């Protein structure tokens, strides 16, 4: 039989697309193919023993939502899921630059030097201004795009800051938000990504409107599980990894690794780009799409939860938030300690816990160690930051996302330098293939909310082809059928000209010499 | 039956490894599995119609060898292949910066501005000095490695040069040598790669000892074809793409996509890293190896040959060498014209021809066009550079390596910023798996010579395990059994400190103010 739609990928994006399609037309014949033995993709809620034989659920994948993330909030409401606020009261802990442990309560990070603070503030103002000019729909349409895309976040920030602590703060932010180091990411991608979230601080902070504002009662994987119930369990096939996708004259044939075939009029590929390049496509992807799929590496992030009997950090006036360069370590083969960022993870059932990340280069280095070595190092670091009570923990759970089959990393794919001119093509349909997944989102790209937005957009694209009567003009805004959302011709890119810091240096030098000569003369 | 060795990949590296193993012990049972329907990997020699019903052979893949490339020269001699010099007499053409066509005869490129030339010379001196300190065996063991690896070639050169023409010259060099733009490559990788070739200019030039010094009579693919004869045709199985590799207690099981299985004591994987990540490994790669395989993208390079009735460029005093930013173009959807670098390609049979590259971003953009559009643009550009006689060509042949199955690009995989700390792990064996391929070479990495060196190194590693008696101490130098060649612990990396250009700027500014104040005072 020929299905109307085959959706590849049973994560938040794919299941959202399937659900919206069936909402629009319940008669559509549709099937979702998921490679794993579970739905949810990069959301994963697991039961953890919390002592006294009790068990509570924790998110080892995406866990936060913010009040400016309309798409996920609407979905939560539709599914009857509730949120509760991220705990943020009290002292925060910072370990940067000189590796000393410092605490602070205001929004102003406690850096050792005032110049460091000033540099950081000016830098943040500058990137906020710049981010506002870089649309994620087509980053190359922004000023100086080509040159900015040729620069890493690391080199860019070193032009504006010299204080080691300030530099490390941005690097830790990249590690926690992208699972990568500042040395690997294109500053243009960073700006576009921040813009899609409404600003750089929105991505990093835990306060109102920011990305880490609230959590979902019972865990975020419920979004996918409840969507499966609405779609119909029989339509979602687990353990069906797709091996190849063949586009014919009037249909698409999708074949699994076990050689089961599914035929459909349209296919939605809701899998991360790093998994797309493992599938065989006939005909193969057009050059831009192939390039961008091959050049969006996934972050390396290990998430850990430490369960405690009581939230001693709260009692001692700490929020549980830690921002750290990892600190020094004696462990061989790793450059730093494991921590990047930690937060209070006490559940709505009241189970006290701390959640944290081992990310970027440290993520790779500590991935080489045993779970026991990681656990020991994490607990040791928590004790240094929050007090020796941290040593007396109830349970430790971790998830190394790099080991997760059919995902291969976390939290998202990020842009490396020099390839952003192809980025809009990640989202573009290819004949009868449509693309979803949070990397293809244009609002809150890389977040659960982005996954939902991308799924809804892909559903509209497909519906426009299968049931044009059901789609209104305004439904197509932001899809490939909206001329305004198409990438521009790249010939009109402005290259950065004008005074560089080195020109100013020569200028000042000349001024100095002249002034000196002048003073000698009289 | 259990083979002694299965070699995956019938390119120069894999076939060299197989040949050396059988030379050392002809009783070894060995099989080579090649995915394509031909051997040679990224070397490809094809017959091209050259008019009057005549046919001559041209290299559409790797074609040059240099007199300092011992490994390939020894192999050529062993196989009875001869070389002939690359034609370099006469005027060279340069189109950079202002897009004007300029000619020059000396080694000094004809840049519009003197300051551009001076900047370029100082830049080249600096990178030569720096390259000498960056060993490809472990780039991170060099000074300031972490910070240099966080920088692209583009940002690095913009710190030292401001002349658009000089900047474009280095960018064109990256395009022709790596198939990528300066905006995508780690400067640390660039330095390590240059060091492995004996210097930056060795990589770029056509003169003695350099990479483009000579060509192989009859084409470079003969190396692989002659190796097959020595190994034995029956031992080299074409159209056997490997799907998965399973390491057991005492053997390795290699399964093809058609589910044929081969069992061996040791396996040599002589396929490019971008193909390794498409295979399934059980157990999966260790973290560092997985990271570096996932983060070595392959260049995008289209090679073209234009056949002429007579070598009009020689008659007009041109060498045929063109270095170009592509120039302006009216074609929609491409940022520049197609050319990056061209050379005389007249064969030893006397067939006049020009060879050139459409590479990096232009390679991707022109990949989107039809062959007719590319051909028209190339011929048009050649006419502008070498004279209108270029319009009257006999034949045009091209090879888009990005479309080549089981290769996916050309000429090589390059290092993106921020991942070089894992680079040495590309070469390291993983239990019973050994790794060859020019990307794993330590001498002339990325060249045919490097492929041979890597194959010989892998053969020694395997022989050391299967027939220890046949391997002497000195044979193990540079292999994983040579402690000196192992990556260091990364904790001792020096971060760049000291005065930056901006500090000097502030310094000079203060000096200016003081001097001025002083002059006012008196």
Note the ipTM here. 0.91
What is the C-alpha radius of gyration for chain B, rounded to an integer number of angstroms?
24
Q: Which of A359, A417, A420, A514 is the best substitution to test chain B (most B C-beta atoms within 10 A)?
A: A417
B334 CA: distance to closest CA in chain A (Å): 7
Query: Is A83 among the domain residues?
Result: no
Does one domain contain both A278 and A131? no
Tell whether the model's pLDDT for residue A504 goes beyond 70: no
Residue B366's alpha-carbon distances to B29, B138, B461, in angstroms, are 46, 36, 43
A313 pLDDT band, cuts 50/70/90, is very high
CA distance B337 to B368: 13
Q: In three state form, how does the secondary structure of B488-518 look?
A: CCHHHCCCCCCCCHHHHHHHHHHHHHHHHHH
Helix axes A187-196, A114-131, angle to 10 degrees: 70
What's the domain range around A110? 91-205+492-521
pLDDT value for A472? 87
pLDDT value for A502? 57
Under 8 Å between Cβ of A185 and A153: yes
Q: Which of A185, A287, A326 is the best substitution to test chain B (most B C-beta atoms within 10 A)?
A: A287
Q: Which of A109-123, B172-186, B211-225, B499-513 has the lowest mean pLDDT?
A: B499-513
Count of domains for chain B: 2
Does one domain contain both A457 and A499? no
Which of A154, A335, A519 is nearest residue B490 as measured by Cβ atoms? Answer: A335
Query: Is A378 among the domain residues?
Result: no
- Find the mean pLDDT for residues B28-38: 98
Q: What is the largest CA-CA distance in chain A?
A: 97
Token pair 């040495």 is found at B424
Residue A258's alpha-carbon distances to A236, A239, A247, A279, in angstroms, are 17, 10, 19, 14
- Find the mean pLDDT for residues B250-264: 97
Tell whether the model's pLDDT for residue A270 goes beyond 50: yes
Q: Which two tokens stand for residue B6?
A: 């299965």
Query: Is A289 among the domain residues?
Result: yes
Does one domain contain both B115 and B130? yes
Q: What is the mean pLDDT of chain B?
A: 93
Does one domain contain both B102 and B170? yes
Q: Which one, of B87, B94, B433, lies nearest residue B281 by Cα?
A: B433
pLDDT value for B500? 54
B99 pLDDT band, cuts 50/70/90, is very high
Q: Could you report the per-residue pLDDT of A13-25, keeping only the tens digit for each?
A: 999 999 999 999 9
Tell whether the model's pLDDT for residue B121 goes beyond 50: yes
Does one domain contain both A193 and A125? yes
B495 CA: distance to closest CA in chain A (Å): 11
Q: Which of A369-373, B32-36, B501-505 has the lowest mean pLDDT?
A: B501-505
Q: Which one, of B46, B47, B31, B35, lies nearest residue B11 by Cα?
A: B35
H or E stretch covering B71? helix B70-79
Token pair 């190394």 is found at A400
Query: Is B351 among the domain residues?
Result: no
Number of A to B CB contacts under 8 A, please give it: 174
Does one domain contain both B450 and B501? no
Could you give the percent of chain B with pLDDT greater than 90?
84
Does one domain contain both B192 and B245? no
**E strand map for A214-283:** 214-216, 236-237, 242-247, 252-256, 261-269, 280-282
Q: Which two tokens stand for residue A61?
A: 């994948």
How many residues are there in chain A? Answer: 522
Q: What is the CATH number of the domain that holds A97?
A: 1.10.405.10
Q: Which of A278-287, A364-373, A505-514, B449-458 has the lowest mean pLDDT?
A: A505-514
Does one domain contain both A105 and A189? yes
- Find the mean pLDDT for residues A334-352: 97
Does one domain contain both A104 and A197? yes
Interface of B with A in 384-443 (CB under 8 A): 402-403, 408, 416-419, 421-422
Q: Could you report the per-residue pLDDT of B479-511, keeping only the tens digit for each?
A: 888 877 777 665 544 444 444 555 666 677 777
- Find the mean pLDDT for residues A437-459: 98
Q: Which of A253-262, A469-478, B325-334 has the lowest mean pLDDT?
A: A469-478
- Find the mean pLDDT for residues B202-211: 84
A512 CA: distance to closest CA in chain B (Å): 4
Q: Could you report the per-residue pLDDT of B372-405, keeping only the tens digit for each?
A: 999 999 999 999 999 999 999 999 999 999 999 9
Residues from chain B contacting residue A515 (CB–CB below 8 Å) = 512, 515-516, 519
Tell whether the model's pLDDT for residue A492 goes beyond 80: no
Does one domain contain both B104 and B191? yes
The pTM of the full predicted model, rounded to 2 decimals, is 0.93
Does one domain contain both A177 and A231? no
Does one domain contain both B138 and B159? yes
Tell whether the model's pLDDT for residue A498 goes beyond 60: no
Q: Which two tokens stand for residue B272?
A: 């490019």
CA distance A222 to A406: 20
- Find the mean pLDDT for residues A435-459: 98
Could you give the percent of chain A with pLDDT greater than 90?
84
Query: Is A80 among the domain residues?
Result: no
- Find the mean pLDDT for residues A238-264: 97
Q: What is the CATH number of the domain that holds B286?
A: 3.50.50.60
Query: Is A381 among the domain residues?
Result: no
């Amino acid at each position: 039989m020929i299905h109307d739609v085959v959706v590849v990928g049973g994560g938040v994006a794919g299941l959202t697309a399937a659900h919206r399609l069936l909402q629009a037309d319940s008669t559509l014949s549709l099937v979702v193919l998921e490679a794993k033995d579970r739905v949810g993709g990069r959301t994963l809620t697991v039961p953890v023993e919390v002592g006294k034989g009790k068990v509570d659920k924790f998110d080892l994948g995406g866990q936060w939502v913010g009040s400016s993330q309309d798409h996920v909030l609407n979905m939560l409401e539709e599914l009857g899921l509730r949120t509760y606020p991220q705990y943020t009261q009290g002292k925060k802990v910072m370990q940067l630059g000189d590796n000393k442990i410092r605490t602070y309560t205001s929004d102003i990070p406690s850096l050792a030097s005032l110049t460091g603070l000033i540099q950081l503030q000016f830098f943040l103002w500058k990137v906020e201004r710049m981010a506002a000019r870089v649309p994620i729909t087509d980053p190359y349409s922004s000023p100086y795009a080509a040159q900015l895309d040729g620069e890493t976040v690391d080199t860019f920030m070193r032009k504006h800051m010299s204080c080691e602590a300030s530099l490390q703060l941005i690097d830790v932010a990249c590690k926690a938000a992208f699972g990568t180091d500042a040395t690997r990411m294109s500053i243009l991608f960073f700006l576009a990504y921040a813009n899609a979230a409404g600003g750089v601080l929105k991505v990093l902070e835990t306060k109102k409107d920011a990305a880490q504002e609230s959590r979902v009662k019972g865990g975020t994987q419920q979004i996918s599980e409840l969507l499966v119930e609405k779609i119909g369990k029989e339509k979602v096939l687990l353990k069906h990894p797709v091996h190849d996708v063949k586009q014919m004259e009037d249909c698409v044939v999708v074949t699994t690794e076990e050689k089961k075939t599914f035929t459909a009029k349209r296919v939605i590929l809701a899998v991360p780009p790093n998994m797309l390049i493992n599938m065989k496509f006939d005909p193969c992807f057009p050059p831009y799409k192939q390039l961008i799929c091959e050049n969006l590496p996934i972050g390396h992030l290990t998430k850990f939860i430490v369960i405690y009997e009581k939230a001693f950090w709260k009692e001692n006036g700490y929020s549980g938030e830690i921002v750290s360069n990892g600190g020094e370590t004696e462990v061989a083969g790793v450059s730093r300690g494991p921590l990047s960022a930690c937060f209070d993870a006490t559940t709505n059932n009241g189970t006290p816990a701390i959640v944290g990340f081992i990310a970027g280069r440290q993520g790779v280095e500590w991935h080489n160690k045993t779970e026991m070595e990681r656990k020991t190092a994490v607990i040791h670091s928590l004790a240094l930051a929050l007090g020796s009570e941290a040593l007396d923990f109830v349970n430790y759970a971790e998830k190394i996302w790099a080991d997760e089959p059919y995902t291969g990393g976390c939290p998202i794919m990020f842009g490396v330098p020099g390839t952003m001119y192809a980025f809009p093509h990640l989202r573009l349909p290819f004949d009868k293939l449509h693309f979803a997944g949070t990397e293809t989102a244009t609002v809150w790209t890389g977040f659960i909310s982005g996954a939902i937005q991308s799924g809804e957009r892909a559903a509209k694209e497909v519906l426009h082809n299968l049931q044009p009567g059901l789609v209104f003009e305004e439904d197509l805004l932001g899809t490939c059928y909206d001329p305004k959302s198409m990438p521009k011709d790249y010939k009109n890119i402005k290259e950065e000209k004008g005074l560089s810091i080195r020109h100013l240096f020569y200028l000042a030098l000349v001024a100095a010499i002249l002034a000196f000569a002048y003073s000698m003369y009289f």
